[in-house]
Amino acid sequence: MKIFSYLLVLQQVYCFAPIALTRRHCSQLNAEYDFDVAIIGCGVGGHGAALHARGQGLKTAVFSGRDVGGTCVNRGCVPSKALLAASGRVRDMKDASHLESLGINVEGEVTYDRQAVADHAKNLANTVKGNLENSLIGLDVSVIEGRGILAGPNKIKDDQSGKIYTAKNIILAPGSIPFVPPGVTVDEKTVYTSDGALNLDFVPEWVAIIGSGYIGLEFSDVYTALGSEVTFIEALPMLMPTFDREIAKQAERMLIRPRAIDYRLGVFASEVTPGEQGKKPCTIKMIDANTKEHVETIEVDAVMVATGRVPNTKDMGLESMNIETNRGFVAVDEKMRVKTSADGEVIDNLYCIGDANGVMMLAHAASAQGISAVENICGREHVVNHEAVPAACFTHPEIAMVGLTEEQAVERAEKEGWTLGKSQGNFRANSKALAEGEGAGIAKVLFNKETEKIVGVHIIGIHAADLIQECANAVEQGTTVRELSMMVHTHPTLCEVLDEAFKGAVGMSSH
Amino acid sequence: MPALSSTMKEGKLSEWLTSEGSPISSGDSIATIESDKADMDLEAFADGTLLKILVEEGETAKVGEPIAVILEEGEEEVELMKLIEGGGGTEPVVETQEPASSSSPPPVSASTEPQTPHTKVYMPALSSTMTSGKVVSWEVDESGTVGSGEPLLTVESDKADMEVEHLGDDGFLARICVEEGASCDVGEVVAVIVENEEDVAKWDGWMPGASVSAPSPSPASPAASKPAAAAKAPSASSPAPSGGRVIASPLAKKVAKDKNIDLSQVTGTGPEGRITVSDVEGFTAGSPPKKKSDTPPVSSWKPANGVVAATPMARALAKKSKIDLSTISGTGQFGRVTEADVKSALGESPKKKKVLPGVPAVELPSGFVKYSGMQSAVSTNMEATLTVPIFRVSSTIEMNSFNKLYASVKPNGVTLTVLISKAVSIAIQKHPIMNSRHDSNGGIYYNSDINIANAVALDGGLITPVMKNTNEKSLEELGEEWRDLVSKAREGKLKPDEFNSGTFAITNLGMFGVTAFDAILPPNTGTILALGATTEVIRPCEECVGGMRKVKEMTVTVTCDHRPIYGSDAAIFLKTLKEVMENPEKWGVK
């Protein structure tokens, strides 16, 4: 599954321009246009752009396409966190030996109400969606219900009313939809993408997950906690192909091997036929990824398709501006300005952010790109440093990362002629982690030995997603491991795992 | 054991990720090592087979100590095993051994598998409940030709007789391992087919299981699963209980086929028990015989050809415990075999027992555990005693004087066992019949030596070290001999002559407070003496003040073979033994 694709950004990037104490609003309204900024799409990216645009005093409209909150809030990160939170507790409470080591006994069987867990996810999504919509209305953003369609320079058509709106600047933020490989029939009941999986219509005895990226991994965490057995089907010859290899190995040891999971590597699910719950299983035919020969057929209760996402850029009028996409992805420059094609011209006053440009398919990356686009609209040049954007996978325990994988770093160091340093902190040696009985995991800091700047950090262990921020900030600010090693970390906290790694990087001992 | 950090001195082997005999490729994780800082996977850096695990899970080894031996391709397993047993403890970690000198010819014996192109034929599972099958007839003779798709043999399963076809390439039936009329378990080798006629003779006398690496009936061996899977397909449509034919109307057959219903499961209501459409439809709509009630209705789904209907964990467990999945009936969705099914097939209880609040959980062992070599020997010996007519006689012996003697000789290294053995041998000298045994030639066999065998309980077994010529040796000599025997027994180093040359056996449970018991006679022995605990009792005593006295007593019971030894023999022997033990001053020892 493709998650990252980095823009080749400048090594030293712009941070926010020196902040003028009295930052001027950049209202540009003139009678010519209905809005200063119109945003197509109301996911996390569009929402972030809208809030920042209003903050700059720009007259702003958002075409929500009847999907305020977008994928993340309604069908992605947010409801999946609800499922992970509930199932994670089930897992904890069923882990008698772990509880016993803390002196706790759970008497009787730990049970859950599937529908109530599913409702928790649904309610959470609705709450977050409501908050998001209210914040737009509260800030006086015009929320237009229809889907926005480009109708030429500065023009957007509302597909619901047919009305044409004009805007000086247009930001495309249409997001993405799950990718379904050819041969796979999705009925969203027994064969489903993440969209259907979040409904948790039933807990299958055996579920196959096609793709072992973030989404597949998180759902394997949910399913195994609720009692399902999981089979991963991965086209590449390794599990979690986008992860740092060392982290992937650790993840395999913590999240795959001890659980009711097996896997097939190097195979395509060439034909997936939906079943009928309780009556007919789903059939998956697998072929070898290289030879294309049939290798195995399995019959499972449910199939989750987690093979990545494709841009939702069809039928949005891109042709009216002569924009050519690459498999649906809209090409942009580093300021998020749309280009007619990968090596085409920059189109003025047209921006594309989020999953649709494929630079980094993460909600917070989309939001950062939206803010950056608005900065550029206001004439303050800004470029997002994607190597400082952290990412996390919310399994138990979590995996988090920022910057390059070790494999990428080795390559980069060789190409650019610097020495790669590596230092590791261990959860096993951390008091807080041991207090929790969660000593498994590592934090790995990759840095340039000459400049002592961080090029990548990878953490697997309890609360990794909350630990990565310090590292992301350090990458963004260019803080060196030497500076970090002298910064005081709270004792006893999990942050000391990083403290150990920072200190180790400069030859100090932390304990 | 690798050093995983600069401070690591030793590592704990937390988990083996592969098992002995498993193939390994370079780069595979083979074990998880717990160091002082983190758990790490240990990777193999050579292809081969994991021959021997030297450090078990949970054990600790110093950095640099070998933890396993990997057999590289082309290496002689036997050579390497010798090396391991010879204490090759100083070799490096995942050590590899260069191929043994090719000049040594491959050992030719019945236990070696001839290296010729061949296919093994395994006993197929003809039904989901079939665990063993009987070979009704061989359709091809040994050294006869076998064509692909031709019937090879007929097998009687628990449900029906079925012809088994040869599925591989054309060849010659080199070896029939299971004769007509004989049975074997599903997955066992029943025959060997070779490609070339000249190889037939090489398989003469070969038997499966005799070779060093016995062919396992696990699903890992592809040939094993092939006939099973193939044989299943016809079973879905044709067989019927008790060898009869399924009689069904054509439409019923078609409907059954469309709905994937096994007609042999349907009860016919038509003429002569014929299955009608309504029978088939009734079967779908209504009540197929359910195996389990707490799951959603299990449909009569039959997995497609080649599909293994088992969950991932069921597969993994079956592979690990080398059990053939096709022999297990599934209770999961769509009749799928679940982990719990495999566990119950293995005799393990699927669920943890409920525990009363406040009572610590006790993990009770459950299920089948194979006898060790020693336990098997005990079992065989005990069964053999069932043909021996025996009787038992008991007597009570006053121990006051005996205990005084024991206290006096104990400092010289004389144990109670030795002292009693000595007393017994003195008594035997007066009644040699007690030292005899039944001879199958129809007579009494008198032993000229008095060799006393004393039963010693070992962890998971029992053995009877023998003190020889106890009547001729001093107590000190016997004491030393016994010490030596016991330490050898604990180390498992007793020679056969040191545990099976007894002429008279003694067993003692007195130390557990047992007042009296009788023992089973060991093979080739005429008598065994069982000793209870010494207890203090009050006995009437006319000369004593108050008319009674406190004495120490021990109850002994002899079990004798009634063919050479009679009840009066035993009774008189016990009387003598009593006299000897109650009057140790007469022994001639201090």
3 state SS for B272-308: HHCECHHHHHHHHHCCCCCCCCCCCCCCCCCCCCCCC
| DSSP element (H, E) containing A288 | strand A282-288
**Span between the terminal Cα atoms of chain B, in Å:** 59
Of the listed ranges A146-160, A228-242, B126-140, B500-514, the one predicted with least confidence: B126-140
CB-based contacts of A452: which residues, under 8 Å, 6+ apart?
A: A421, A480, A481, A482, A505, A506
Considering only CB atoms, which chain A residues are within 8 Å of B336? Answer: 205-206, 299
Is B333–A107 a contact, with Cβ atoms under 8 angstroms apart? no
Residue whose pair of structure tokens reads 């029978």 in the numeric block: B279
Task: Give the rounded percent of residues in chain A with a pLDDT score beyond 70.
Answer: 94
d(CA B208, CA A431): 56
Predicted pLDDT at B463? 84
Evaluate whether ipTM surpasses 0.85.
Answer: no
Which one-letter amino acid corresponds to residue A207? Answer: V
Chain A, 242 to 261: residues with Cβ < 8 Å from chain B are 249, 253, 257, 260-261
Among residues B38, B36, B210, B60, the alpha carbon closest in space to that of B192 is found at B210
Interchain CB contact of A100 with B (< 8 Å): no
Interchain CB contact of B304 with A (< 8 Å): yes
Cβ-contact A263, A256 below 8 angstroms: yes
Across the interface, of B306, B315, B333, the residue whose CB is closest to A297 is: B306
- Angle at which helices A44-55 and A114-138 cross, to 10°: 20
The Cα-based distances of A440 to A337, A464, B395 in angstroms read: 44, 12, 66
Buried b (16+ CB within 10 A) or exposed e, B322-336: ebbbbbbebbbbbbb
Cβ-contact B63, B11 below 8 angstroms: yes
- List A25, A294, A491, A511, catalytic entry: A491
Q: How many CB atoms lie within 10 A of CB A106?
A: 13
Structural Rg of chain B based on CA atoms: 33
The Cα-based distances of A193 to A114, A196, A270 in angstroms read: 19, 6, 16
Interchain CB contact of B12 with A (< 8 Å): no
With H, G, I as helix, E, B as strand and everything else as coil, classify residue A94: helix
Ligand-binding annotation for A57, yes or no, is no
Cβ-contact B121, B193 below 8 angstroms: yes
d(CA B209, CA B188): 9
Q: How many CB atoms lie within 10 A of CB B247?
A: 15
**DSSP 8-state assignment for residue B460:** T
Predicted pLDDT at B581? 92
pLDDT tens sequence across A262-286: 999 999 999 999 999 988 999 999 9
Cis peptide before A397 (omega within 30 of 0): yes
d(CA A335, CA A253): 41
Predicted pLDDT at B256? 75
Ligand-binding annotation for A355, yes or no, is yes
Of the listed ranges A110-119, A346-355, B52-61, the one predicted with least confidence: B52-61
Across the interface, of B296, B297, B315, the residue whose CB is closest to A262 is: B315
Ligand-binding annotation for A463, yes or no, is no
Considering only CB atoms, which chain B residues are within 8 Å of A206? Answer: 311-312, 332-333, 336
Predicted pLDDT at A17? 41
Return the residue of A nearest to B295 by Cα: A278
Predicted pLDDT at A12? 38
Segments in B385-502 forming alpha helices (H): 400-409, 416-430, 475-491, 496-499
Which residue did the predictor score with more confidence, B554 or A28?
B554
Cβ-contact B413, B480 below 8 angstroms: yes
Predicted pLDDT at B427? 93
Chain A, 398 to 427: residues with Cβ < 8 Å from chain B are 426-427
The Cα-based distances of B230 to A189, A278, B167, B235, B253 in angstroms read: 33, 27, 9, 9, 21
Is B307–A297 a contact, with Cβ atoms under 8 angstroms apart? yes
Q: Show pLDDT as tens, one digit a residue, over chain B (590 residues).
A: 887 776 777 888 888 888 887 788 877 788 888 877 677 788 877 788 888 888 888 888 888 888 888 877 666 665 555 555 544 443 333 433 333 333 444 443 444 677 777 888 888 777 656 777 888 788 887 778 887 777 788 787 655 567 777 777 788 888 888 888 788 888 888 888 888 888 887 877 777 764 333 333 333 333 333 333 333 333 333 333 334 456 666 666 667 777 777 777 777 766 556 676 677 776 654 444 433 334 444 457 788 877 888 999 999 898 888 888 888 888 888 889 999 889 888 887 655 545 555 556 666 777 788 887 778 888 888 888 888 999 999 999 999 999 999 998 888 888 999 999 999 999 999 999 999 999 989 899 999 999 999 988 877 678 889 999 998 988 889 999 999 998 888 887 788 888 888 999 999 998 888 999 999 988 888 999 999 999 999 989 888 888 888 899 999 999 999 999 999 999 999 999 999 999 988 876 64
Q: How many Cβ pairs within 8 Å bridge chains A and B?
A: 72
Ligand-binding annotation for A213, yes or no, is yes
Among residues A261, A156, A145, A277, the alpha carbon closest in space to that of A212 is found at A261
Considering only CB atoms, which chain A residues are within 8 Å of B315? Answer: 262
Considering only CB atoms, which chain A residues are within 8 Å of B306? Answer: 296-297
Chain A, 277 to 316: residues with Cβ < 8 Å from chain B are 278-281, 283, 296-299, 301
The minimum CA-CA distance between B301 and chain A, rounded to whole Å, is 7
d(CA A138, CA A272): 46
CB-based contacts of B542: which residues, under 8 Å, 6+ apart?
A: none
Cis peptide before B312 (omega within 30 of 0): no
Return the residue of B nearest to A206 by Cα: B311
Average pLDDT over residues A19-43: 75
Query: Which residue pairs from B382-387 have beta carbons closer than 8 angstroms and sit at least 24 positions apart in sequence?
Result: B382/B520, B384/B523, B385/B520, B385/B521, B385/B522, B385/B523
Predicted pLDDT at B99? 39
Is B301–A279 a contact, with Cβ atoms under 8 angstroms apart? yes
d(CA A141, CA A146): 15
Interchain CB contact of A238 with B (< 8 Å): no
Report the alpha-carbon angle B84-B88-B91, nearest 5. Answer: 120
Q: How many CB atoms lie within 10 A of CB A401?
A: 26
Considering only CB atoms, which chain A residues are within 8 Å of B296? Answer: 278
The minimum CA-CA distance between A430 and chain B, rounded to whole Å, is 10
- Angle at which helices A114-138 and A77-94 cross, to 10°: 140
Among residues B130, B128, B187, the alpha carbon closest in space to that of B310 is found at B128
Identify how many contiguous H helices and E strands chain B contains and give both numbers: 12, 26
Cβ-contact B144, B250 below 8 angstroms: no
Residues of B annotated as catalytic (active site), given as ranges: 562
d(CA A12, CA A428): 36
- Angle at which helices B277-285 and B250-258 cross, to 10°: 30
B85 phi, psi to nearest 5 deg: -70, -30
Residue whose pair of structure tokens reads 């040359």 in the numeric block: B501
Look at residue A98 and tell me whether its pLDDT is greater than 70: yes
- Angle at which helices B416-430 and B475-491 cross, to 10°: 120
Residue whose pair of structure tokens reads 């097998």 in the numeric block: B155
The total number of residues shown for chain A amounts to 511
Predicted pLDDT at B385? 86
How large is the greatest C-alpha to C-alpha distance in chain A, in angstroms?
A: 71
Structural Rg of chain A based on CA atoms: 24
Tokens (6 digits) for A453: 């700047």
Buried b (16+ CB within 10 A) or exposed e, B458-495: eeebebbbbbbebbebebeebbbbbeebbebbeeeebe
B400 phi, psi to nearest 5 deg: -55, -50
Is A297–B357 a contact, with Cβ atoms under 8 angstroms apart? no
d(CA B105, CA B108): 8
Predicted pLDDT at A247? 95
Among residues B546, B511, B514, B517, the alpha carbon closest in space to that of B529 is found at B517
| DSSP secondary structure, A426-495, as one string | EGGG-HHHHHTT---EEEEEEEETTT-BEEEEEEEETTHHHHHHHHHHHHHHT-BHHHHHTS---TTSTH
Residue whose pair of structure tokens reads 């378990």 in the numeric block: B185
Is B309–A299 a contact, with Cβ atoms under 8 angstroms apart? yes
